[in-house]
């Protein structure tokens, strides 16, 4: 028996065919009819079935304890949820609704996100729900909102074949979005004139396969983008009529970028000015200009400004809304976008409504028939939740209870020792997860065993706004329950039963879809039935929209041809936004922002003279609770390492493979040194995957990172922490 589903690792959203043999054995292969991957899978996707078949670390039944010095005891679902509801009600009554919080995950399905938002915002009366997507995408969200008027990726994957210049900035898609990268590589192989520019302080695999690598100093992306902007203006490569007809803010931008010479910018960035000239020339002369970025721009204390400086290059050249043109933030998690659609951040409501907008609150309250007023104040963001719990001085008004769903903050949060203190301090911790390898379990008062991929149904939205249906294929082990069911059962225990009387996830999705009517993310035409039939649908998709049929995909794929984009829209169902150049801002004009180019990261000094950047390796995913269980994936890079430039190593007497101690103002790690000029002098790199459980706290990268966040997106500055490295 075969089942079509979607990979649950990254935002590329590859289609997977799961083969289920009569003996229950599972195998997976890429779905040749899926528009996102056309049959290809990367190493993680190809081995996804092992994460389901190995159940050795699964949480199998609810557990709880009344004292953290006691071991967790097996209990029934009713007992676990009744106690959790009783504790939540007590805190809410005594300290107010902001005394409780949910911290969820970009791994959660859209229906799960919707339910948890409805529960806390519409029925408990707090906006204290945030997600680990805050740690990776929120700077892009704010950048899109400020420039285009909406959290909306304007391009689609089919734009790849229309582009002739790719600017990849602060991203390593060769490792982190491999199938998307293979599509770009295939396009370049077929069209050798296509140029790829990679901006990254590290020489990554993406940089190696680019035509031009700009290894800028960390924190100087805006300087570079402004310099490119200046050259585009000086070389006559801007689109005057687009600027006049469709944007605001150009004059202030031009004045700003003219203030710094190209030589000065090159000096600040630590690269040759000729390289900046080359990049600007390629972009200026291109027919299709796509920019791709991820954490190098987003995970920064100036992340929003970095995003705006890059989007500006599209707005001054008019390279947006046309074939092969546009800014394209690559989504890290599989459903970071779907989560935001349902309101899965502390400052938003379903369909990208804003909690600070009274009309938006009223619409949602009326739809939900909420018994409470939706709070007008944004809730605590990811880092704010943990800081509130860790703050010993916090009084009765502060956070008391946190419910963590499918994420492992004791590995992934910045300055993770603060997060650990937070969970120790918390009066009540609920952990809902699939794995006992989640470091949070040790701090839990209640543990709720969740169903995993293939064990539950729901939907996800990938990086090009493509919604996919994930069927339930197998039963989860033990007493595991789908996350949606856990949430609606809990809501019933809280006394909100009438509003949470669901019997399946399709009902949840239909309710959410109705709430999107008339918004920019309108999905009123999407149903499970349609998704099962058509495989995927991009938003927006209104009630009377017509999707592509499976047969149409088959024809396109079997002939191995990619029709011209003009013909592909809407025939293949692929949607690009802003084709009429009317943006989602109030006046329908995009906003060019003249943003300052300085960095405000933690300063280096004599004690901590090096910059540490953290990131991913090719075959591991986040905190390794899934990929760490697949032996094959450990073969690529089995051990953590610190990349350090040979010049920096030599002055410290450090040799290749030697154990070193990396120290920051917050903590330390011990790890083997890898001497390489793939990193700039002054920079070192440490993978973020390994946590306390796996390494006895020796190599937890976030022991070192700092708690600074971008003031608008509240996204942490993972890419810039001051450290020293010494022989151990």
Q: Which C-beta is closer to ligand SF4: that of 10 or that of 275?
A: 10
Q: Which helix (H) or strand (E) holds 553?
A: helix 550-558
As to burial, measured by CB atoms within 10 angstroms (0-12 exposed, 13-18 middle, 19+ buried), residue 466 is buried
12 is a contact residue toward ligand SF4 (CB under 6 A)? yes
- CB neighbours of residue 605 within 10 Å: 10
Indicate which single residue of 17, 18, 28, 41 sits in contact with ligand SF4 (rule: CB under 6 A). Answer: 41
Are 623 and 412 a contacting pair, CB within 8 Å?
yes
Are 209 and 174 a contacting pair, CB within 8 Å?
yes
446 is a contact residue toward ligand SF4 (CB under 6 A)? no
How far is the C-alpha of 458 from the C-alpha of 108, rounded, in Å?
A: 9
CA distances from 240 to 31, 146, 164, 691 (A): 44, 21, 22, 51
Contact positions with ligand SF4 (CB under 6 A) in 244-303:
none
Q: Which C-beta is closer to ligand SF4: that of 177 or that of 465?
A: 177
Q: Which C-beta is closer to ligand SF4: that of 108 or that of 301?
A: 108
String of DSSP letters for 490-543: HHHHTT-GGGG--SSHHHHHHHHHHHTTTSTT--TT--HHHHHHHSEEESP--T
Q: Which C-beta is closer to ligand SF4: that of 7 or that of 135?
A: 7
How far is the C-alpha of 367 from the C-alpha of 355, rounded, in Å?
A: 15
Residue reference for tokens 């009223």: 362
Query: Rounded to the nearest whole angstrom, what is the least distance from the CB of residue 13 to ligand SF4 in the complex?
Result: 6
Query: Rounded to the nearest whole angstrom, what is the least distance from the CB of residue 51 to ligand SF4 in the complex?
Result: 12
**C-alpha 230: how far from its chain's center?**
31
How far is the C-alpha of 694 from the C-alpha of 671, rounded, in Å?
A: 13
13 is a contact residue toward ligand SF4 (CB under 6 A)? yes
Query: Where does this chain touch ligand SF4 (CB under 6 A) — which range of 12-20, 237-245, 514-522, 562-570?
Result: 12-20
Indicate which single residue of 4, 5, 7, 286 sits in contact with ligand SF4 (rule: CB under 6 A). Answer: 7
Q: Which residue is nearest to ligand SF4 (CB)?
A: 45
Q: Which C-beta is closer to ligand SF4: that of 156 or that of 214?
A: 156
Q: Which C-beta is closer to ligand SF4: that of 46 or that of 214?
A: 46
Query: Rounded to the nearest whole angstrom, what is the least distance from the CB of residue 662 to ligand SF4 in the complex?
Result: 28
Are 496 and 123 a contacting pair, CB within 8 Å?
yes
- Give just the sign of the alpha carbon dihedral 151, 258, 212, 235: positive
Query: Where does this chain touch ligand SF4 (CB under 6 A) — which range of 3-11, 216-224, 624-632, 637-645?
Result: 3-11
Query: Rounded to the nearest whole angstrom, what is the least distance from the CB of residue 621 to ligand SF4 in the complex?
Result: 7
Indicate which single residue of 44, 195, 361, 666 sits in contact with ligand SF4 (rule: CB under 6 A). Answer: 44
SS3 track for 88-150:
HHHHHHHHCHHHEEEEECCCCCHHHHHHHHHHHHHHHCCCCEEEHHHHCCHHHHHHHHHHHCC
The pairing of strands 212-214 and 195-199 is: parallel
Q: Which C-beta is closer to ligand SF4: that of 88 or that of 453?
A: 453
Q: Which C-beta is closer to ligand SF4: that of 7 or that of 301?
A: 7
10 is a contact residue toward ligand SF4 (CB under 6 A)? yes
Query: Rounded to the nearest whole angstrom, what is the least distance from the CB of residue 28 to ligand SF4 in the complex?
Result: 9
Query: Rounded to the nearest whole angstrom, what is the least distance from the CB of residue 49 to ligand SF4 in the complex?
Result: 12
Query: Where does this chain touch ligand SF4 (CB under 6 A) — which range of 10-18, 488-496, 513-521, 692-700?
Result: 10-18
Q: Which C-beta is closer to ligand SF4: that of 42 or that of 508?
A: 42
- Residue 303 DSSP code: H
Query: Rounded to the nearest whole angstrom, what is the least distance from the CB of residue 453 to ligand SF4 in the complex?
Result: 11
As to burial, measured by CB atoms within 10 angstroms (0-12 exposed, 13-18 middle, 19+ buried), residue 398 is middle
453 is a contact residue toward ligand SF4 (CB under 6 A)? no
Q: Which C-beta is closer to ligand SF4: that of 37 or that of 99?
A: 37
Indicate which single residue of 14, 450, 592, 673 sits in contact with ligand SF4 (rule: CB under 6 A). Answer: 14
Binding string, residues 179-208; x marks residues near ligand SF4 by CB under 6 A:
x-----------------------------
Query: Rounded to the nearest whole angstrom, what is the least distance from the CB of residue 178 to ligand SF4 in the complex?
Result: 5
Of the candidates 110, 117, 153, which has an alpha carbon nearest to the alpha carbon of residue 469?
Answer: 110
628 is a contact residue toward ligand SF4 (CB under 6 A)? no
Two structure tokens written together for 295 = 């954490």
42 is a contact residue toward ligand SF4 (CB under 6 A)? yes
Two structure tokens written together for 430 = 């609920």
Sheet with 446-449, edge to edge strand ranges: 73-74, 63-64, 446-449, 428-433, 401-405, 100-104, 129-131
- Give just the sign of the alpha carbon dihedral 643, 646, 652, 658: positive
Query: Rounded to the nearest whole angstrom, what is the least distance from the CB of residue 107 to ligand SF4 in the complex?
Result: 12
Query: Rounded to the nearest whole angstrom, what is the least distance from the CB of residue 6 to ligand SF4 in the complex?
Result: 8
Query: Rounded to the nearest whole angstrom, what is the least distance from the CB of residue 406 to ligand SF4 in the complex?
Result: 17
CA distances from 76 to 60, 61, 327, 480, 717 (A): 11, 8, 49, 11, 42
Indicate which single residue of 9, 453, 500, 553 sits in contact with ligand SF4 (rule: CB under 6 A). Answer: 9
Query: Rounded to the nearest whole angstrom, what is the least distance from the CB of residue 564 to ligand SF4 in the complex?
Result: 26
Query: Rounded to the nearest whole angstrom, what is the least distance from the CB of residue 125 to ligand SF4 in the complex?
Result: 37
Indicate which single residue of 35, 143, 170, 178 sits in contact with ligand SF4 (rule: CB under 6 A). Answer: 178
Query: Where does this chain touch ligand SF4 (CB under 6 A) — which range of 36-44, 266-274, 556-564, 643-651?
Result: 36-44
Q: Which C-beta is closer to ligand SF4: that of 91 or that of 175?
A: 175
Two structure tokens written together for 446 = 């209640």
Are 429 and 400 a contacting pair, CB within 8 Å?
no
Are 525 and 543 a contacting pair, CB within 8 Å?
yes
Q: Which C-beta is closer to ligand SF4: that of 13 or that of 288?
A: 13
| Interaction site with ligand SF4 (CB under 6 A) | 7, 9-10, 12-14, 37, 41-42, 44-45, 177-179
């Amino acid at each position: 028996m075969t089942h079509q589903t979607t990979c649950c690792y990254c935002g590329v959203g590859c289609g997977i065919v799961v083969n289920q043999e009569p003996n229950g054995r599972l195998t997976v292969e890429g779905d040749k009819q899926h528009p996102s991957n056309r049959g290809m899978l990367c190493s993680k996707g190809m081995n996804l079935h092992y994460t389901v078949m190995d159940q050795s670390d699964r949480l199998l039944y609810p557990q709880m304890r009344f004292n953290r010095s006691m071991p967790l005891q097996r209990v029934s679902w009713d007992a676990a949820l009744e106690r959790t509801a009783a504790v939540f009600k007590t805190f809410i009554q005594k300290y107010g609704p902001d005394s409780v919080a949910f911290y969820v995950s970009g791994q959660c399905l859209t229906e799960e996100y919707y339910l948890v938002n409805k529960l806390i915002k519409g029925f408990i009366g707090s906006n204290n729900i945030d997600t680990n997507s805050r740690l990776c995408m929120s700077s892009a969200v704010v950048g899109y909102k400020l420039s285009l008027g909406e959290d909306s990726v304007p391009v689609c994957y089919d734009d790849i074949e229309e582009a002739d210049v790719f600017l990849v900035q602060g991203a390593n898609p060769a490792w982190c979005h491999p199938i998307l990268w293979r599509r770009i590589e295939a396009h370049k192989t077929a069209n050798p004139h296509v140029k790829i520019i990679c901006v990254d302080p590290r020489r990554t695999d993406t940089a190696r396969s680019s035509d031009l690598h700009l290894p800028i100093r960390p924190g100087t992306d805006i300087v570079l983008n402004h310099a490119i902007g200046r050259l585009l203006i000086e070389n006559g490569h801007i689109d005057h009529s687009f600027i006049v007809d469709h944007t605001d803010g150009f004059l202030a931008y031009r004045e700003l970028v003219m203030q710094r010479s190209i030589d000065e910018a090159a000096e600040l960035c630590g690269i040759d000015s000729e390289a900046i000239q080359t990049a600007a020339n390629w972009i200026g002369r291109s027919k299709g200009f796509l920019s791709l970025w991820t954490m190098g721009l987003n995970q920064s204390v100036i992340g929003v400004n970095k995003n705006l400086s890059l989007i500006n290059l599209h707005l001054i050249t008019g390279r947006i809304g046309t074939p092969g043109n546009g800014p394209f933030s690559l989504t890290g998690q599989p459903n970071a976008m779907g989560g935001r659609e349902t309101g899965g951040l502390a400052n938003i409501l379903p369909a990208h409504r804003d909690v600070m907008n009274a009309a938006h609150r009223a619409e949602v309250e009326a739809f939900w028939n909420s018994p409470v007023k939706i709070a007008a104040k944004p809730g605590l963001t990811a880092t704010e939740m943990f800081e509130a719990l860790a703050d010993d001085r916090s009084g009765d008004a502060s956070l008391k209870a946190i419910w963590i769903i499918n994420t492992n903050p004791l590995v992934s949060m910045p300055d993770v020792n603060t997060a650990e203190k937070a969970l120790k301090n918390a009066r009540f911790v609920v952990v809902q997860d699939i794995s006992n390898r989640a470091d949070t379990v040790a701090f839990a008062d209640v543990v709720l065993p969740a169903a995993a991929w293939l064990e539950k149904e729901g939907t996800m939205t990938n990086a090009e706004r493509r919604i996919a249906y994930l069927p339930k294929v197998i039963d989860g082990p033990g007493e595991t329950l789908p996350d949606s069911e856990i949430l609606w059962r809990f809501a019933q225990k809280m006394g909100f039963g009438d509003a949470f009387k669901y019997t399946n996830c399709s009902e949840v999705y239909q309710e959410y879809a109705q709430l999107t009517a008339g918004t920019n993310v309108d999905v009123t035409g999407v149903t499970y039935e349609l998704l099962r039939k058509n495989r995927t649908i991009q938003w927006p998709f209104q009630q009377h929209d017509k999707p592509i049929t499976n047969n149409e995909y088959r024809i396109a794929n079997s002939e191995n041809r990619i029709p011209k984009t003009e013909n592909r829209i809407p025939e293949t169902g692929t949607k690009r936004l802003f084709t009429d150049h009317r943006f989602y801002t109030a006046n329908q004009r995009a906003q060019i922002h003249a943003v300052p180019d300085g960095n405000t990261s933690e300063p280096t000094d004599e004690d901590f003279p090096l910059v540490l950047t953290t990131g991913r390796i090719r075959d591991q995913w986040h905190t390794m609770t899934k990929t760490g269980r697949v032996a094959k994936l450990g073969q690529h890079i089995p051990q953590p390492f610190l990349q350090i430039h040979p010049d920096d190593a030599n002055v410290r007497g450090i040799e290749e493979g030697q154990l070193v101690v990396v120290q920051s103002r917050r903590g330390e790690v011990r790890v083997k040194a890898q001497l390489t000029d793939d990193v700039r002098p002054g920079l070192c790199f440490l993978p973020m995957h390994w946590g306390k459980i796996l390494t006895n706290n020796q190599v937890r990268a976030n022991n070192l990172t700092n708690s600074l966040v971008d003031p608008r997106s509240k996204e942490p500055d993972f890419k810039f922490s001051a450290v020293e490295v010494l022989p151990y």
